[in-house]
Amino acid sequence: MPKQYLDLGGRPLIEYSLQLFLEHPRIEGVVIALDAADPHWQQTAFAAHARVTRVSGGRERCHSVLNAIEALTDSAAESDWVLVHDAARPCLRREDVDRLLSVVEGHPVGGLLGISVRDTMKQVGRTSEVRGTVPRGGLWHAFTPQMFRLGLLRRALREAIAADQLVTDDASAMELLGLAPVMVEGHADNIKVTRQDDFALARFHLQQQGRLC
């Protein structure tokens, strides 16, 4: 079972991520990239939602995002803003989306949510031995959503893939164009569910937010 469909408080994890965007008054619609053979999506609450469009995912994250962006070409303008979000981040707060929209709308490139690094950062070699300490000043954890103009993001992803740069987030594609997205501080509970113990943490955060009883 893909992690986005695992049970989180009686609902598939992905529904928390989708609901926040579908209920936001400034979000026109959602494009979701899924494996073409995905058998689980049709059982979710938003599978038949009028403002949700499904597209086939790609080999890597960047291919999936580009497929979703390409699907918007006929229905959105080049200058329209798009927000790219990881389905495995169910604890995103509405206030963080509002802050991102407010800050980034006036920025020439775009931006992303994140938080500054608070822990000591170590560089480790292949044998897990510490090679050095990385100064944490100016280091941030990159979260999603990441927000960019449709046309510029499509160009950035196309060029990154053509150069065999399989970027792991959309801001990296912008950086390869020589552009500097703005970092917008969010909340630390916008976690990405990756490991089994992340589910308990996500459940706790959703309960604290009042989104899960």
Q: Quote the CA–CA distance of 130 and 28 in Å, as a whole number.
A: 47
- Given a cut of 90, whether residue 7 has pLDDT beyond it is yes
List, for residues 176-209, the tens digit of each pLDDT value: 999 999 999 999 999 999 998 999 999 999 999 9
| Residue-level pLDDT at 151 | 98
- Given a cut of 90, whether residue 111 has pLDDT beyond it is yes
- Given a cut of 80, whether residue 213 has pLDDT beyond it is no
| Residue-level pLDDT at 37 | 94
Average pLDDT over the chain, rounded to whole? 96
- Given a cut of 90, whether residue 15 has pLDDT beyond it is yes
Residue 87: how many other CB atoms lie within 10 Å: 22
Residues constituting the chain: 213
- Given a cut of 90, whether residue 53 has pLDDT beyond it is yes
Q: Quote the CA–CA distance of 90 and 62 in Å, as a whole number.
A: 20
**Mean local confidence (pLDDT), 113-118:** 97
Q: Quote the CA–CA distance of 102 and 42 in Å, as a whole number.
A: 34
Model confidence band, residue 1 (pLDDT cutoffs 50, 70, 90): confident
Runs of H (alpha helix) within the chain: 13-22, 61-71, 94-104, 150-162, 170-176, 196-208
CATH superfamily of 3-208: Spore Coat Polysaccharide Biosynthesis Protein SpsA; Chain A (3.90.550.10)
Which residue in 118, 121, 98 sits closest to 184, CA to CA?
A: 98
**What percent of the chain is predicted at pLDDT more than 90?**
98
Model confidence band, residue 105 (pLDDT cutoffs 50, 70, 90): very high
List, for residues 118-153, the tens digit of each pLDDT value: 999 999 999 999 999 999 999 999 999 999 999 999
